[in-house]
Structure 1
Amino acid sequence: MSAPLASSQPSRLADAWMLWAASLVVTLIVGVQFLRHDQAMLRTLGDTDDAMRLVRVRTLLAGQGWWDQWIGRLQPPQGTIMHWSRLLDGGLAATVRAVEVVLPPDRAELWTRTFWPLAWILPAAAASLSIAHRIAGRAGLFAGALVLVADPWAFIQFQPGRIDHHNVQIALTLAAAALALGAERGAWRGAAAGFASALCLAIGIEALAFHAFIGAGLAVGLVLGDRRAPAARAYGFSLAGGAFGLFLIQTPPSRWPVSACDALGANLVAGLVAAGLGLGLVSLMKVGARTRLLGVAVAGLVTAIVYLALDPACIHGPMAAVDPRLRPFWFDRIEELQPWTILIRTDPAAAVRVLCIAASTALAAAILVWRKRLDLGLATLLACAGLAVAATLAVLRQEDYAFAFGLPLVAAAAASLTSGRNPLLLATVSLALSPAASMAAAERLWPVRASPSPNERCYEVAAYQRLAAQPEGLVLADINLGPFILAQTPHSALAAPYHRMTWGVLAAHYALGAPPGEAEAQVRALGVRYIVECGALIRVGPGSFETTLRRGPPPPWLRPLSEPGEALQIYAVEPLAQHPPKER
């Protein structure tokens, strides 16, 4: 690392001031750009997860119990229990309540939706710049700030309205990596990294593999007996205690024994406790490197055994419990779960973006291996970046982590190539190595632009006003409309894009896909009061009830409630005719 480890206290203090000043500048520039150019949140509640998160926050504010995660308005009458973390609901609800001191409730909610995601730019930027600084010194810090500001995808999950969970997880994952990278500076960094990992995994487990790599890097440092050994001990105990404590806080006592593959369940918390305590206990042993290696290996083996023994299905990944009947018409079509080989055909702009971040990260990694001494910290970061790139090529959803780990490496590589002596040269090389440059070049060579979705009007707030004015009832609609129906109307939704509500999703699919002559019986049997159609949303084949309803006119048992041309075409299910009783 070019930053001297034996630097004086005043120098470290100056570096800290520079780091936070640069992070604040990045936050302000990116935030202002979002606020100036992104007006989408004024028209819509975001994507399906943003809308669903808002529903959960509102119910919590309305008095639903902290441990009551049952949502009765999804697939009634059985409802569904969401696997999402209550911690994030609580943070958002607390923010809304605090803002209500000075603003009315509706404005407080809008303010929270706007500034909650923007606030997470600061810790994410600080962690990213800290990584670049630790690898390449102050030149890396300067290059990192430039790359973050210049790349439009660096903070795409932090734009106003994004209140789901991605931005918080990205910030915490980067924080854990940055703290682990500087672990030789003190055990407190290891403890902070362990808690960041625990908190991130309590909120969601999509970054689990990155935290496993971070912990493994500290474990290797413990085996080698380097200056990261005290931090490894602190990391282990903090991870174990944090995961266990957060699990108890957010999980209803009745579900403490329940394992899960898609959330922090009993199996994962047991595995994290085993891993953390194992790492901490090995660090306390006064033994040689071979014995420490054996101890760490045993801790890792026990972690895997405990996790899989409590729920063997989890060997198939976090979505092991997805009903295979949902895959053909929904799950396998989710865009963010597609590999780049499919995106080449379905979304060329996204495919090019994925290839650009992969190429920039690979080039930066090669430069750093060539120019830098490959120590344990840098090796851990390169492993995380390589994992992120590989995961992104397989699943588009992971591209956020490819940018998160790739951009600080790009900045450090630029600083290493130029030795940081010439600011103009450093800026030029930084931008040339960045994914933004390769994306701009690719656009000129192959001008592929993301086309606007034909379904955008389906999610606008104004589109739901007519439906919201109707008497309360159950709505049959496309799976993606479910969260917006809950967030913007008093109605219930039969389907929503969540894999734990198999019954409602299948029931809605079968009803919409039924032959026209059989649809009425299925709709009435489900207790549906309204049917909503919109745009190009369709998941059933020709000859189905949904297809014939679009072509019109509607069957006599449906009464149109919307005007032609409106985004949502709403139909009320007419009550069955009441015949007078026969005379005896």
Structure 2
Amino acid sequence: MALFGWTKASQREVSNDSWPFWLYSLLVVCVVAVYITVDLSGDTLHNGDIDDQLRGLFVRLLLSSSGWYDLSLPMVRGPEIYISPWSRLIDAPYATIAFALHYFFGQERSIDIAFKVWPPILGVIFSILIVSVLKRLYPSKADLPVKTLLGLLIVMPYAFWEFSPGRIDHHNLQIVLLLLVVYGISRFDMVGGATVGVGVSVSTAVGLETLPISALTLIALSCTWVFDVRGSRTMLGSTGIACLVMSPMLMLVLIPPAHYWTMSADAFSMPDIQALSGFGVKRSEDLTPWAKRRTDPFIDLLFRLSQAPFRPSAEGRNGAFREACSYHLGW
């Protein structure tokens, strides 16, 4: 079945011969569980590395005394204290689970439970996303028999081992986010576009190693609009809106106010925020009727603010922001 052109009519055509979504999801979860069990049978995790230990140290520092924005490692000096580029988005679920269990098990035991619980939860989400994508691409039983599904799963051990208990670095979440982007593309509608925008934005905030894939995804979606693929206008417009909304939200969550306009090596910072918000404004401006030619004052203000850091001003960057705001607000 073609990726584009999925309609309610075509959905009805295969509804009588479709495979059971939740039964297939349970099958995938069971296969993932088997692979994880094999991984745990050894002395060390197959995909485990030193980054898991360092991530554990970060979570412990967060729960002890360091603040949310404090990414320093006092024990690492060269000669200054080392500031990590890693994202707190990875630490948040572990710290939340450990904090919730602290009263019952104590800090160290609750942290250990969090490290063992959260990766398999991501594995379940990963399994459901796999089946969701396959449901979009191969909706009928004839398209995807059980033996074909098992054949797909049997060649994915390295991906599944990223969800073993104790594998707490950011790779498992990145896999889930990239699969979320694939799911959004498989939908190719307004919800799918928003899903792609959220996945690309959060993935960039988690780690910049996926930035080339995210960039190629946005370029490919733009090409569908260039070649007038059906639904591309809605798809790309909702992707842009999601990027426009998510980028400032992630900035507020992950970056301290004093560093909003700084560039950080290997970390989510202003260049990435500008790229995502600029794409979002431009796609919204070009592809959605309510923002066409920036006739809406709020959209025009967002556009001007997103361009302010790169617009020359006699008063510097702050002056550019004041000029952007004064256009509408009279500041």
Displacement, 1:165? 0.3
Structure 1, unmatched stretches of 5+, are 287-298, 307-584
Displacement, 1:216? 2.2
- Superposed CA deviations along residues 214-272 of structure 1, whole A, max 9, x for unmatched, are 22232223331522321211111101211221122111112111113412111111111
Contact 2:244 2:277 (8 Å CA) reproduced: yes
Which residue identity is paired with 2:208? Answer: I
Aligned partner (choices 47, 67, 70) of residue 68 of structure 1: 70
Structure 2, unmatched stretches of 5+, are 291-302, 311-331
Could you say if the C-alpha distance between residues 103 and 150 of structure 1 is closer, same or farther in structure 2, counting changes exceeding 3 Å?
farther
Cross-structure match for 1:28: 30
Cross-structure match for 1:209: 212
Cross-structure match for 1:93: 95
Cross-structure match for 1:258: 262
Displacement, 1:35? 3.2
Could you say if the C-alpha distance between residues 269 and 37 of structure 1 is closer, same or farther in structure 2, counting changes exceeding 3 Å?
closer
Contact 1:23 1:145 (8 Å CA) reproduced: no
Which residue identity is paired with 2:251? Answer: F
Write the distance in 2 (CA, Å) between the matches of 1:225 and 1:109.
49
Write the distance in 1 (CA, Å) between the matches of 2:266 and 2:124.
28
Write the distance in 2 (CA, Å) between the matches of 1:12 and 1:146.
24
Which residue identity is paired with 1:168? Answer: L
More helix as a share of residues: 2
Contact 2:204 2:211 (8 Å CA) reproduced: yes
1:84 lines up with 2:79 in the alignment = no
Cross-structure match for 1:18: 20
3-state SS of the aligned residue for 1:71?
strand
Cross-structure match for 1:194: 197
Cross-structure match for 2:169: 164
Write the distance in 2 (CA, Å) between the matches of 1:182 and 1:202.
24
Contact 1:201 1:208 (8 Å CA) reproduced: yes
Write the distance in 1 (CA, Å) between the matches of 2:133 and 2:269.
31
Cross-structure match for 1:289: none
- Superposed CA deviations along residues 176-235 of structure 1, whole A, max 9, x for unmatched, are 111122113xx1221122111111111111111222222223222333152232121111
TM-score normalised over the length of structure 2: 0.76
Which residue identity is paired with 1:218? Answer: L
3-state SS of the aligned residue for 1:206?
helix
Could you say if the C-alpha distance between residues 21 and 149 of structure 1 is closer, same or farther in structure 2, counting changes exceeding 3 Å?
farther
Give me the CA root mean square deviation. 3.3
1:280 lines up with 2:284 in the alignment = yes
Counterparts of 1:310-329 in structure 2 under 5 Å? Answer: none
Aligned partner (choices 49, 58, 61) of residue 60 of structure 2: 58
Write the distance in 2 (CA, Å) between the matches of 1:230 and 1:121.
31
3-state SS of the aligned residue for 1:115?
helix
Write the distance in 2 (CA, Å) between the matches of 1:12 and 1:61.
49
Displacement, 1:167? 0.6
Cross-structure match for 1:148: 153
Counterparts of 1:386-397 in structure 2 under 5 Å? Answer: none
Counterparts of 1:415-564 in structure 2 under 5 Å? Answer: none
3-state SS of the aligned residue for 1:258?
coil
Contact 1:2 1:137 (8 Å CA) reproduced: no
Write the distance in 2 (CA, Å) between the matches of 1:222 and 1:238.
17
Contact 2:136 2:186 (8 Å CA) reproduced: yes
Aligned partner (choices 38, 48, 51) of residue 49 of structure 1: 51
Write the distance in 1 (CA, Å) between the matches of 2:16 and 2:194.
21
Aligned partner (choices 124, 127, 137) of residue 125 of structure 1: 127
Contact 1:130 1:141 (8 Å CA) reproduced: no
3-state SS of the aligned residue for 1:272?
helix
Cross-structure match for 1:267: 271
Displacement, 1:81? 0.9
Which residue identity is paired with 2:271? Answer: N
Which residue identity is paired with 2:26? Answer: L
Write the distance in 2 (CA, Å) between the matches of 1:270 and 1:252.
17
Could you say if the C-alpha distance between residues 87 and 154 of structure 1 is closer, same or farther in structure 2, counting changes exceeding 3 Å?
closer
Task: Select the structure of larger CA radius of gyration.
Answer: 1
Write the distance in 2 (CA, Å) between the matches of 1:54 and 1:61.
11
What percent identity do the matched residue pairs reach?
25
Which residue identity is paired with 2:211? Answer: L
Which residue identity is paired with 1:18? Answer: P
Write the distance in 1 (CA, Å) between the matches of 2:225 and 2:289.
11
Aligned partner (choices 216, 237, 240) of residue 236 of structure 1: 240
Aligned partner (choices 199, 202, 222) of residue 219 of structure 1: 222
3-state SS of the aligned residue for 2:159?
coil
Could you say if the C-alpha distance between residues 254 and 2 of structure 1 is closer, same or farther in structure 2, counting changes exceeding 3 Å?
closer
Displacement, 1:126? 2.8
Could you say if the C-alpha distance between residues 173 and 8 of structure 1 is closer, same or farther in structure 2, counting changes exceeding 3 Å?
closer
Cross-structure match for 1:457: none
- Superposed CA deviations along residues 336-382 of structure 1, whole A, max 9, x for unmatched, are xxxxxxxxxxxxxxxxxxxxxxxxxxxxxxxxxxxxxxxxxxxxxxx
Displacement, 1:2? 5.5
Cross-structure match for 2:322: none
1:173 lines up with 2:178 in the alignment = yes
Write the distance in 2 (CA, Å) between the matches of 1:13 and 1:97.
47
TM-score normalised over the length of structure 1: 0.45
Write the distance in 1 (CA, Å) between the matches of 2:31 and 2:45.
24
Write the distance in 2 (CA, Å) between the matches of 1:8 and 1:94.
40
Which residue identity is paired with 2:74? Answer: G
Contact 1:24 1:122 (8 Å CA) reproduced: no
